[in-house]
Amino acid sequence: MPTLSTFVDVINRVLPEPHAGLLAGIVFGAKSSISTELYDALIVTGTLHIAALSGMNITILTKLFFSTFILVLPRWVSSILTIGVIVVFVLFVGPSPSVVRAAIMGSITLVAPLTGRISTALITWGVTIASMLLFDITLVGNISFQLSALAALGMILFSKSSPSVTTEGNKFVAWVKEELATTLSAQVFTIPLILFTFGRISLISPITNLLIGWTIPVITVLGLCISLLGWIWLPLGQLLAWVTWVFLEWLIHVVLITSTVPFASIGR
């Protein structure tokens, strides 16, 4: 059976640096090989979270597998199989607080309709946070848990979907507004915590996140496919790696360029 290091090794064999290190960070949270220059740029632009395991990974996996299973299987089977995928992923990469939080919330959302109950995001968030703290009260002082919980709460309270539009121009404007709303809502409660804990705030973060946010789901899915297919037969992973390199190249250049903007971040 493959291990995490096996999949990271596949990525390292089919992609150059810093692309390989960044992809391993995005998909598996293994950011040890990210270059110092890129790592510093990620900090300045407030985008270091993309190179760490987070709730976003679970959200992408949930949507990907559930939407695939539901095409050919009943809803209850699709939900159970998707939860199984989530559990396997969490055990595979390690149960960090942010990943466990997202896994529980995603599982509740999948199970609720099967029991005839309506699952609201705020109630799901409350049940998840309370259950995690009951299981391990020391999490209240864990910065990863704090940031994950507060970011999720901000998105629940303040992130709203844009209304449907007809023209292409309006669709683009609506997309920009929705992406900015998502980014800013996730930062409403985390900015004070980040400032207090790390003494630094990124002012360029909303713009950088807007420019690269759309690539993360694509890169995550492609990275998973590269790892699995490359493990089976390396040339298969190499084919996908060429496509993935394009998205990674865009992401890296955006982060490096925006990190050089004057007053991109303030603090120590």
**Tens of pLDDT, residues 225-266:** 999 999 999 999 999 999 999 999 999 999 999 999 999 998
Mean pLDDT, residues 105-117 taken together: 81
Mean pLDDT, residues 97-124 taken together: 83
pLDDT at 57: 86
* Number of neighbouring beta carbons within 10 Å of residue 70: 15
Closest CA to 27 of 186, 212, 225: 225
pLDDT above 70 for 111 = yes
The residue assigned the tokens 């919980």 is: 149
For residue range 38-81, what is the model confidence (pLDDT) as tens digits? 989 998 998 888 887 777 888 899 999 999 999 999 999 999 99
pLDDT at 4: 86
pLDDT at 117: 63
pLDDT at 218: 95
Residue with more model confidence, 172 or 217: 217
Mean pLDDT, residues 2-18 taken together: 92
Cα torsion through 191, 197, 200, 206, rounded to 10: -30
Q: How far apart are CA 99 and CA 87, in angstroms?
A: 10
pLDDT at 96: 87
The predicted model scores a pTM of 0.86
pLDDT at 250: 97
pLDDT above 60 for 165 = no
Q: How far apart are CA 98 and CA 178, in angstroms?
A: 23
* 3-class state of residue 2 by DSSP: coil
Closest CA to 191 of 236, 151, 221: 151
Taking all residues of the chain, what is their mean pLDDT, rounded to a whole number? 88
The residue assigned the tokens 């009260």 is: 137
| Alpha carbon distances (Å) from 168 to 10, 136, 172, 173, 200 | 40, 49, 6, 9, 38
Mean pLDDT, residues 206-230 taken together: 94
Residue with more model confidence, 266 or 82: 82
Mean pLDDT, residues 126-141 taken together: 94
Mean pLDDT, residues 15-43 taken together: 87
In the chain, what's the furthest Cα-to-Cα distance? 54
For residue range 166-193, what is the model confidence (pLDDT) as tens digits? 555 688 888 888 888 888 888 888 888 8
Mean pLDDT, residues 108-125 taken together: 79
* Number of neighbouring beta carbons within 10 Å of residue 202: 25
pLDDT above 80 for 136 = yes
